[in-house]
Amino acid sequence: MRLGKRVHAMRCMACGAEMRLMQVVPDATLEVPGYEHHTLQCSGCNDVERRLVFNRESAARAAEPVPESAAPPVSPAAANSSERVAVPSAWKRAVAMFRGRHASPR
């Protein structure tokens, strides 16, 4: 485990001996990049532990900007179009539904 500039060895929860890193697998279940599953084995009692660890270097690599050439092209006509399409917003539809259901008869 790295704390600041010092490096500390991971210790076994069972016997306190130093743990050896046996395997590192990127986590595919979380949407946040940078998490890894570390499999550690005790040098004393051979106990195996698996820990979920956040790796800043791996997260930084995943957060690199996408090159402009990889982005899909945008039609200039769609971006600068002065024509508006009449589409009721979700908010207006929800208010209309609410009023229709809860309107009191007069």
Regarding predicted confidence, which is higher, 94 or 82?
A: 94
Residue 84: inside a domain: no
Output the pLDDT for position 9: 82
Helix (H, G, I), strand (E, B) or coil at 89: coil
Distance CA 52, CA 19 (A): 15
Regarding predicted confidence, which is higher, 90 or 81?
A: 90
Regarding predicted confidence, which is higher, 31 or 6?
A: 31
Q: 3-state SS of the chain: helix, strand, coil percent to 5?
A: 25, 25, 45
Residue 99: inside a domain: no
Cβ atoms of 20 and 12 within 8 Å: the answer is no
What token pair was written down for 4?
């600041």
Residue 29: inside a domain: yes
| Domain of residue 13, residue span | 1-64
Residue 10: inside a domain: yes
Mean pLDDT, residues 29-49: 92
Residue 100: inside a domain: no
Output the pLDDT for position 56: 85
Residue 97: inside a domain: no
Residue 52: inside a domain: yes
Match 């990049």 to its residue by tokens: 33
Distance CA 12, CA 35 (A): 21
Number of domains in the chain: 1
